[in-house]
Structure 1
């Protein structure tokens, strides 16, 4: 049996654990210990013997911060705060970015531009509860509420970029609906933000 803090272990981990079936108690415990020690995405684990002949494995999975999704692919790869791909999932409540490029395999580190975009997406998610962004043409594109689109560069100072967005949105909300310009796009890729 294998459990994590989120419930039963994933199918991939269960499959690896099944390889220790049929071994002696000591052999199975040793095999599981070395397997779990080297497994990406496992922070800690314990193995307990349960009478009559069962080993119970409890794992603490590394907490993901965000996710990446390849365009047209149904699954998400969960990424930790360091940018390391932890595991594949069918769904997520984390902020995520869809990309037309490749996504890292489990154990690999995402590209620096993807990590920058994911951190931006995380900040936007925290402030405005927008869960999804998309990397297209060297830009992070986020569709906000009310039909507003925001374009971010894939490098720079994320605090300046998110601060600029907050300031622009606050200024737009400050003016009465009938007197303000109809802004559909905020482009933060330039030194001076462009409103269209």
Structure 2
């Protein structure tokens, strides 16, 4: 009899925990490393409010498994009825703009299109070509342009640049246009720009030049 009672004391709580998943109606509480979840994700998860814990967990996992903005996530049930969803959200590095339509796509550092947008506060690269769709990757040439655009933004807070005729064009303060090639070593190119531009500013020669052309082994100033 004692053995039966001990077994029951162990089995019954476990059984109650397992079966309670089908009866507890949960509320979704979604957070990311930036605070609240992105609206487009919250909208997808809020449909599981009021569902059973079992159904909500299955639904949330399915919704997040195909979500491009998410690199990882975790689920945690909190008494009495909270299903906490913790997200690790991918961060877009650059926005690409279609020069003809004015449409934007937001792209991460790996070159994957995370979403479309009407505008963006990110560094913007204008292209003379059709933009790829969400979930697709940009070309290697445009990925190289992305690295250069991020670098010039970090150094000089220049948000806008343009890919044209096989080069990346950037306008620096002092009305100096920089012409980058779209191949090579981005770190070397950015380092060359930093040295040349710093030297021009130190010598007070910004007004004497309008262009820094980095497409050649020896940069050309015009």
Structure 2's unaligned 5+ residue stretches are: 1-27
After superposition, the CA RMSD in angstroms is: 2.8
The CA distance in 1 between the partners of 2:207 and 2:88, in whole Å, is 51
For the pair 1:109 / 2:122, whether they are aligned, the reply is no
Conserved in 1, the CA contact under 8 Å of 2:97 and 2:127?
yes
The CA distance in 2 between the partners of 1:30 and 1:74, in whole Å, is 39
The CA distance in 2 between the partners of 1:7 and 1:69, in whole Å, is 28
The CA distance in 2 between the partners of 1:77 and 1:126, in whole Å, is 20
For the pair 1:138 / 2:154, whether they are aligned, the reply is no
- Greater share of residues in helix: 2
Conserved in 2, the CA contact under 8 Å of 1:4 and 1:58?
yes
Aligned counterpart for 1:172 among listed residues 197, 200, 217: 200
1:72 Cα deviation after fit: 5.1
Pair 1:71–1:81, CA change in 2 (3 A) = same
TM-score, with length taken from structure 1? 0.81
Structure 1's unaligned 5+ residue stretches are: none
Conserved in 1, the CA contact under 8 Å of 2:174 and 2:207?
no
Conserved in 1, the CA contact under 8 Å of 2:160 and 2:170?
yes
* Residue in structure 1 matched with residue 8 of structure 2 by the alignment: none
Q: Secondary structure at the match of 2:92?
A: coil
The CA distance in 2 between the partners of 1:92 and 1:176, in whole Å, is 34
Pair 1:134–1:166, CA change in 2 (3 A) = same
Q: Secondary structure at the match of 2:174?
A: helix
The CA distance in 1 between the partners of 2:94 and 2:57, in whole Å, is 33
The CA distance in 1 between the partners of 2:123 and 2:173, in whole Å, is 16
* CA deviations over 1:2-50 (Å, ceiling 9, x no partner): 4433344334323433554675431221021122133212122233456
- The size of the alignment, in residue pairs, is 194
For the pair 1:125 / 2:171, whether they are aligned, the reply is no
Conserved in 2, the CA contact under 8 Å of 1:48 and 1:55?
yes
Q: Secondary structure at the match of 1:110?
A: coil
Aligned counterpart for 1:66 among listed residues 74, 94, 113: 94
1:184 Cα deviation after fit: 0.8
The CA distance in 1 between the partners of 2:40 and 2:204, in whole Å, is 55
